């Protein structure tokens, strides 16, 4: 396993989060091994977190660990990502089956809340729609559910650059870039995420995700969850990054599709990946929503 030292600039809250013990697990779904990470005592109510495209479970580590006093937290590596197997072809519905399978074996109590970022938000929406009685609620973070525009139809595979093998871990970490790029990422977060995203290969180190995954969707993924959006019947909240991918028009379309009852919360000064540039803002927003849901009745569409 590649060592993951704590960055020298990391503040105390980040160091404490990384020091929280976690466990690795796996479950087989449709013939593929699906890896997941858990924090917190078994038997507590559940919080399931789903990463974005090209990312992995450990993009959530510094946030997931902050919930252990109240939750059993589970972070999945969707197939094609992290330490899960790669497939020849990928389907949104298959990813939803993986989320359900991981939630089932993670030793949580009751119906969990699922938090999904970017691609993980699309997966979360479809998971909730296909399993209406399985989840207490879903929180979607900067996942623009809309019919793709012509300019967004270029393959995501190309945005990640050509595949490379790096001679050293430090060389690879220095080349890490989020897609889409954003300013003001915190160096200690990026360092941890990058090191957790590498695997050892012949000749050095490479990124874990399957670059061919995006070919299964023929370009932009923005429309893959649109048929499911209006079918979500559990509690729903949308977190929109101020400098992210959800335009005011897309926000309005999603709000209408959800029956005009789902809260839409803007995360100030955040890019598309708030766990990289403003993790405490994201943490506070999720905590506030969970606290409200514990003490309020959900509004229903007219």
Count of H-run helices and E-run strands, the chain: 11, 10
Please state, in angstroms and rounded to a whole number, the distance separating the CA atoms of residues 270 and 252: 20
CA 254 to the chain's CA centroid: 19
How many CA atoms lie less than 13 Å away from 203 in the CB half-sphere? 4
Radius of gyration of the CA atoms of the chain, in A: 18
**Residue 83 token pair:** 């330490």
Contact yes or no for 49/112 (Cβ under 8 A) = no
Q: What CATH number belongs to 13-152+221-294? A: 3.40.50.1820
Q: How far apart are CA 14 and CA 279, in angstroms?
A: 10
Q: What is the pLDDT along the chain (302 residues), one digit of tens a residue?
A: 788 998 999 999 999 999 999 999 999 999 999 999 999 999 999 999 999 999 999 999 999 999 999 999 999 999 999 999 999 999 999 999 999 999 999 999 999 999 999 999 999 999 999 999 999 999 999 999 987 665 554 545 566 767 899 999 999 999 999 999 999 999 999 999 999 999 999 999 999 999 999 899 876 788 999 999 999 999 999 999 999 999 999 999 999 999 999 999 999 999 999 999 999 999 999 999 999 999 999 887 76
DSSP-assigned letters across all residues of 162-175: S---BSSHHHHHHT
What does the alpha-carbon distance between residue 128 and residue 48 come to, in Å, rounded to a whole number? 12
């Amino acid at each position: 396993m590649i060592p993951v030292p704590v960055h020298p600039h990391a503040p105390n809250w980040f160091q404490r989060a990384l020091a929280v013990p976690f466990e690795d697990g796996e479950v087989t779904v449709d013939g593929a091994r699906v890896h997941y990470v858990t924090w917190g005592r078994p038997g507590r109510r559940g919080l399931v977190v789903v990463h974005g495209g090209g990312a992995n479970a450990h993009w959530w580590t510094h946030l997931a660990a902050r919930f252990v006093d109240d939750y059993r937290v589970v972070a999945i590596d969707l197939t094609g990502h992290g330490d899960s197997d790669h497939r020849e072809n990928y389907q949104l519905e298959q990813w939803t089956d993986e989320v359900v399978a991981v939630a089932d074996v993670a030793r949580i109590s009751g119906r969990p809340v699922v938090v999904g970022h970017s691609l993980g938000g699309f997966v979360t929406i479809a998971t909730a729609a296909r399993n209406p009685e399985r989840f207490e609620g879903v929180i979607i973070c900067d996942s623009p559910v809309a019919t793709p525009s012509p300019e967004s139809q270029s393959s995501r595979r190309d945005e990640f650059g050509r595949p490379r093998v790096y001679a050293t871990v430090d060389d690879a970490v220095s080349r890490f870039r989020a897609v889409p790029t954003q300013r003001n990422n915190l160096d200690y977060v990026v360092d941890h995420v990058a090191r957790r995203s590498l695997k050892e290969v012949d000749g050095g180190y490479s990124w874990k995700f399957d670059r061919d995954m995006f070919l299964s969707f023929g370009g932009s993924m923005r429309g893959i969850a649109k048929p499911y959006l209006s079918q979500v019947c559990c509690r729903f909240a949308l977190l929109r990054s101020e400098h992210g991918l959800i335009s005011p028009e897309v926000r309005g379309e999603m709000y209408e599709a959800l029956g005009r009852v789902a809260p839409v919360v803007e995360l100030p000064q955040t890019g598309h990946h708030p766990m990289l540039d403003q993790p405490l803002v994201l943490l506070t927003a999720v905590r506030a929503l969970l606290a409200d849901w514990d003490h309020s009745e959900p509004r229903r569409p007219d």
